């Protein structure tokens, strides 16, 4: 049995709101979570405190035990189906009052850090022109709004439910905001097809493809401009200000090196990221970013190298990807550059 990664290297944490939703869903499915909560020393007082955070390692172990107790491998899918804007906390209210569905999705993902933090990366939203899978003509391409969850490789019985809950949760909230179900063209899931694949397709009401290169919900172009049923411009501006202040407080506790590494991890799989792009995302200048990293005795290139090295080691140990495939996933210009980096890493050991 493959266990989640060692707590010696923290993966991050999630808001107690997600844990409560996991527990409530397990109860609805017939499980009695009390023994699990006692095992992990999670009393009612901790579950009632909005500032409570649960490490991702503990969250995944609790999820696995509740899946075993309920006998429902699709627990995460059921959990996502019950997700509400209130589960997301402040980002949920910012999304709810937004003008359009696309704006709501962007905000929910942009402020994701307020509800969860994962060292493997962060979610992304972007537009993409993709060949229509339903048509045979190669020239036919359609625009989609892509909500993408970061990779959770290596996949095992402890983390499938996290992917399921996140993708299903995005759809559940989008459906509630618009009052429409016909808003997704298809869904992509990184891990292999599970026994409950049909439940996935029934829930989303569209094709779902497993064993893909990413975890993503692809919203149809026609859905992106749909208005939120709960849009409210003045309240929305107020919520944006509150979320910005909260995000600033969170980031104050992080070193610049940690913030840069987080940005690099979130963009690595999309072909890498430059110093300029990182500075733009952190709302600073390349010159200022270099100076701040120097004060912390590091540099952008050193952090990029460290993130690439850690990711390469993980992929080499836990997947069947070739070194050529890994090199492109890590943003190297060509396999030769990756091989040179590997030789340097080995020499440093």
Assess contact for 187 and 203: CB atoms under 8 A.
no
Taking all residues of the chain, what is their mean pLDDT, rounded to a whole number?
86
Instruction: Supply the DSSP symbol for 112.
Output: G
Short-list 225, 300, 198, CA closest to 256: 300
Q: What is the pLDDT of residues 175-186, one digit of tens each?
A: 999 999 999 999
| 53-55/141-149 β-pairing | unpaired
pLDDT for the residue 327: 80
Q: How far apart are the first and last CA of the chain?
A: 29
Residue 152's pLDDT band (cuts 50, 70, 90) = confident
Each residue of 264-273: b (16+ CB within 10 Å) or e?
bbbbbbeebb
Residue 194's pLDDT band (cuts 50, 70, 90) = very high
Q: Is the pLDDT at 269 greater than 70, yes or no?
A: no
Residue 67's pLDDT band (cuts 50, 70, 90) = very high
Query: Any bridge partners for residue 83, and if so which?
Result: none
Q: What is the pLDDT of residues 134-149, one digit of tens each?
A: 554 455 678 899 999 9
Task: Report, in angstroms and rounded to the nearest whole number, the Rg of the chain calculated over CA atoms.
Answer: 20
Side by side, the strands of the sheet bearing 53-55 are 53-55, 12-15, 116-118
**Cα–Cα distances in angstroms (integers) from residue 181 to residues 94, 99, 105, in the given order:** 21, 18, 15
Q: What is the pLDDT of residues 32-48, one digit of tens each?
A: 999 999 999 888 887 88
Count how many residues are written for the chain: 349
Q: Is the pLDDT at 8 greater than 50, yes or no?
A: no
How many CA atoms within 13 Å lie on the side-chain side of 340? 6
Q: What is the pLDDT of residues 94-137, one digit of tens each?
A: 999 999 999 999 999 989 988 888 776 778 888 888 766 655 44
**Greater confidence, 131 or 278?**
278
What is the rounded distance in angstroms from the CA atom of residue 178 to the CA atom of residue 221? Answer: 14
Q: Is the pLDDT at 283 greater than 50, yes or no?
A: yes
What is the enclosing helix (H) or strand (E) of 152? none
| CA angle (128, 285, 109) in 5-degree steps | 35
What is the rounded distance in angstroms from the CA atom of residue 175 to the CA atom of residue 218? Answer: 13
**Cα–Cα distances in angstroms (integers) from residue 310 to residues 53, 146, 201, 286, 348, in the given order:** 25, 27, 35, 25, 14
pLDDT for the residue 139: 53
Q: What is the pLDDT of residues 196-248, one digit of tens each?
A: 999 999 999 999 999 998 999 999 999 999 999 999 999 999 999 999 888 88
The mean pLDDT of 275-302, rounded to a whole number, is: 89
Residues whose CB falls within 8 Å of the CB of residue 76, separated by 6 or more in sequence, listed in order: 63, 160, 161, 162, 163, 164, 165, 168
pLDDT for the residue 90: 93
Query: What percent of the chain stands above pLDDT 70?
Result: 90
| CA angle (240, 241, 242) in 5-degree steps | 90
Query: What percent of the chain stands above pLDDT 90?
Result: 50
pLDDT for the residue 335: 79
pLDDT for the residue 240: 93
Instruction: Supply the DSSP symbol for 148.
Output: E
Distance of CA 34 to the CA centre of its chain: 28
Q: What is the pLDDT of residues 316-339, one digit of tens each?
A: 765 667 777 778 777 777 778 888
Upstream peptide bond of 154 is cis (omega within 30 degrees of 0): yes
**Greater confidence, 311 or 6?**
311
């Amino acid at each position: 049995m493959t266990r989640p990664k060692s707590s010696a290297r923290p993966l991050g944490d999630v808001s107690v709101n997600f844990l409560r939703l996991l527990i409530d869903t397990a109860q609805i499915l017939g499980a009695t979570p009390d023994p699990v909560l006692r095992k992990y020393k999670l009393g009612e007082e901790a579950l009632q405190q909005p500032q409570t955070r649960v490490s991702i390692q503990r969250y995944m172990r609790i999820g696995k035990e509740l899946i075993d107790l309920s006998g429902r491998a699709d627990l995460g899918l059921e959990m996502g189906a019950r997700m509400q804007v209130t589960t997301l906390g402040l980002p949920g209210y910012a999304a709810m009052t937004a003008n359009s569905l696309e704006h709501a999705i962007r905000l929910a993902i942009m402020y994701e850090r307020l509800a969860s933090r994962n060292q493997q990366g962060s979610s992304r939203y972007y537009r993409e022109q993709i060949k229509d899978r339903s048509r045979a003509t190669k020239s036919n391409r359609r625009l989609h709004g892509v909500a993408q969850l970061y990779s959770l490789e290596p996949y095992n019985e402890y983390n499938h439910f996290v992917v399921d809950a996140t993708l299903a949760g995005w759809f559940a909230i989008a459906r509630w905001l618009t009052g429409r179900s016909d808003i997704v063209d298809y869904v992509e899931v990184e891990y292999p097809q599970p026994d409950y694949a049909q439940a996935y397709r029934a829930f989303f009401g569209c094709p779902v493809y497993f064993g893909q290169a990413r975890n993503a919900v692809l919203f149809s172009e026609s859905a992106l401009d749909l208005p939120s049923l709960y849009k409210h411009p003045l309240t929305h501006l107020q919520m944006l200000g509150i979320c910005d202040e909260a995000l600033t407080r969170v980031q104050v506790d992080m070193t610049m090196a940690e913030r840069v590494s987080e940005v690099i991890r979130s963009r690595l799989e999309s072909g890498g990221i430059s110093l300029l792009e990182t500075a733009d995302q952190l709302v600073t200048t390349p010159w200022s970013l270099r100076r701040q990293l120097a004060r912390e005795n590091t540099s952008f290139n050193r952090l990029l190298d460290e993130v690439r090295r850690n990711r390469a080691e993980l992929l080499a140990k836990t997947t069947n990807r070739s070194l050529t495939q890994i090199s492109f996933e890590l943003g190297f210009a060509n396999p030769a550059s990756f091989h040179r980096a590997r030789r340097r890493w080995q020499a440093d050991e």
